[in-house]
Structures are given as C-alpha cells and as structure tokens.
Structure 1
Amino acid sequence: MTKKTQILVIGHNDDGCTPAHEKIAYEIGCEVAKSNCVLMTGGLGGVMKAAAKGSHDSNGLTVGIIPQDDPMHANEFCDIVIPSGMGLTRDFLTALSADGIIIVGGGSGTLSEICAAYMHKKPMVAIRNTGGAADKFIDGYVDHRKNVKIIGVDTAKDAVKKILELLHGN
C-alpha cells in the first residue's frame, strides 16, 4: 500500500479569519479531497475548520492535530483527532507530519508552522492577497538560507496543483 500524500492547510484561527479566508480554505479542502490526499490541519477553528469542512463535504479524509489533550476541542469535521497536549509546540508536529503546506493568511501561530516547515525544507504554497503570514514571504524565502521558496498562487485549485507538482514533479 502506498502512503497517501498529506497536505497541511494553515492560517488564521477564529480570530482574524474572514469570510474570504473561509471560502478559499473550504475550496482548498475540496481540492485536497478530490486529489485523494489527506487534509491535515491544527484541528481548531477558522481556516482549519473551513478546510476540514471542504474536505469532509468532498468525502476526503481529515486529520486534526490539536494543541489540547482532550479531543473534544477539535472541530466537528476532523475524522481523525490527535490531541497532542503540546500546546503551541504542536506547530512543529503539524509541520513535520505534512508532506507539503498551503498557507491562507495567518498570524503568529501560522508563522511558527511556516518556520518549522522551512527549517525542514517542506514545500510550501501561499494564497496571494490573504494577508498575514502568507503575504509576508510569498514568492520568497524566510531567511538567508533559502531552504525553500514559498510559491504564491491565486486560487485553491492552483494551490493544490502546485503543491502536488512540488512534491511529485508532475
């Protein structure tokens, strides 16, 4: 059996998540499911919940890695909940569990996940004009090491297509 590709979607939690963020995250979740990949998130609200709902509505598999030790904190669209009990350090677990990352806006938690993924040279794609952490590094690098370029795209479909190209060379 071949391992399924795991795509992590990161971005604003409930605080700072706009209807536009929710719409694009939902569409990303749908595209991840249609690509027969596993959708991974931090399992909470905002972008995470919208992406999980999109995947769930498209019959995809969703995994939520939450910072709490009680699975009841996860959003209702997570098929598999991993209650890490790690608090904010769970950002490293989400980043390292993914094959590739898609960024939609985001604040300091998203930035933490970006940095963890960057240090481990995980491919990343960011949706243009979603603000926050996504716009800070789009089409560039986090630092002088140039570990991995964060590629900018405009749509959910382009995001999933590009991350799969980066991962599989298609």
Structure 2
Amino acid sequence: MVKKRQILVIGNNTKGCLPNHEKIAYEVGVEIAKSGSVLICGGLGGVMTAAAHGAKDANGLTVGIIPQNDPSEANEFCDIVIPTGMGLARDFLNALSADGVIIVGGGSGTLSETCAAYMHKKPMVAIRNLNSSVDPYIDGYLDHRENIKIVGADTPQEAVQKILELLSP
C-alpha cells in the first residue's frame, strides 16, 4: 500500500479569520481532497474548520491535531482527532506530521507552525495578500539558512497544484 500524501493547512483561528480566509481555506480543502491527499489541520476553528469542511464536502479524509486533552474540542469536520494535551507545543506535531504545508493567512500561531515546518524543511506554499504574519516571507526564506523557500500562490487551486509539484519525486 502506498502512503497517502498528508497536507497541513494552517492559518487564522476563529479570532482574526475573515470570510475571505474561510472561503479560500474551504477551497483549499476541496482541492486537497480531490488530489487524494489527507488534510491535516489543528482541528479547531477558523481556517482549520473551513479547510476540513471543504475536504469533507469533497469526500476527503481529515485529521485534526488539537492542543487540548478532550477530543470533543475538535471541529465537527475532523474524521480523526489526535488530542495532544500539549498546548502550543502541538505546532511541532502538526508540522512534522505533514509532507507539505499550505498557509492561509494567520498570526503568531501560524508563524510558529511555519517556523517548525521550515526547520524541518517541509515544502510550503502560502496564499498571497491575506495580511498575515507570513506575508514578509512569501517567495523567500525565513532566515539566512535558506532551508526551504515559502512559495507564493494567488488562488487555492494554484496553492494545491504547487504543493503537489513540490511533493512530487
């Protein structure tokens, strides 16, 4: 059996998540499911809920890795819930569980997950022009080590296409 690709979607939680972020995240989720990949997210609100919802509507498989102990705290669109009880340290689990990452807006938590993925050289694609903490690094690197470029995309479809290209052997 061939392992399925696992794509992490990160971005704004409920606070700071605008309708535009939700629409884009939903479409990213649909495209991930259509590609046959597994959608991984932080399992909570905002971009996480919207992306998981999109993947579920497209008959995809979703995994929510939540910071709490109680699996009932995950959003309703997570097929598999991994309650870590680790709080913010779960950002590293999210990044390490993914083959690649798509970034839809976000604040400091998103930047934390981006840094974790960057340190482990996970391919990343970020949607441009969402006024996020990651915006200054799109089409560039987080630091002088130039571990992995954060590739920019203008649409959900382009973001998924680019991450799939980056993950191809």
Give the TM-score normalised by the residue count of structure 1.
0.98
Are the equivalent residues in 2 in contact too, given 1:17–1:47 (CA < 8 A)? yes
- Matched position secondary structure for 2:133: helix
Inter-partner Cα distance in structure 2 for 1:86 and 1:98: 18
- Matched position secondary structure for 1:91: helix
Inter-partner Cα distance in structure 2 for 1:136 and 1:67: 27
Q: How far apart are 1:44 and its partner, in Å?
A: 0.1
Map residues 153-168 of structure 1 onto 2, 5 A cutoff. Answer: 153-168=153-168
Aligned partner of 2:53: which letter? K
Are the equivalent residues in 2 in contact too, given 1:127–1:154 (CA < 8 A)? yes
Aligned partner of 1:161: which letter? Q
Aligned partner of 1:97: which letter? S
Inter-partner Cα distance in structure 2 for 1:85 and 1:160: 30
Are the equivalent residues in 2 in contact too, given 1:13–1:106 (CA < 8 A)? yes
Aligned residues: 169
Aligned to 2:61: 61
Inter-partner Cα distance in structure 1 for 2:75 and 2:139: 31
Aligned to 2:7: 7
Q: How far apart are 1:69 and its partner, in Å?
A: 0.5
Aligned partner of 2:112: which letter? S
**Structure 2: segments with no counterpart, 5+ residues:** none
Aligned to 1:44: 44
Identity of aligned residues (%): 73
* Structure 1 vs Structure 2 CA RMSD: 0.6
Inter-partner Cα distance in structure 1 for 2:81 and 2:133: 25
Q: How far apart are 1:133 and its partner, in Å?
A: 2.2
Are the equivalent residues in 2 in contact too, given 1:104–1:134 (CA < 8 A)? no
1:67-120 deviation digits (Å, cap 9, x = unpaired): 000001000000000001100000000000000000011011000000000000
- Matched position secondary structure for 1:50: helix
Are the equivalent residues in 2 in contact too, given 1:38–1:63 (CA < 8 A)? yes
**Structure 1: segments with no counterpart, 5+ residues:** none
1:90 and 2:110 are equivalent in the alignment: no
Runs of 4+ in 1 over 2 A off after TM superposition: none
Inter-partner Cα distance in structure 1 for 2:20 and 2:38: 23
Map residues 7-156 of structure 1 onto 2, 5 A cutoff. Answer: 7-156=7-156
- Matched position secondary structure for 2:121: coil
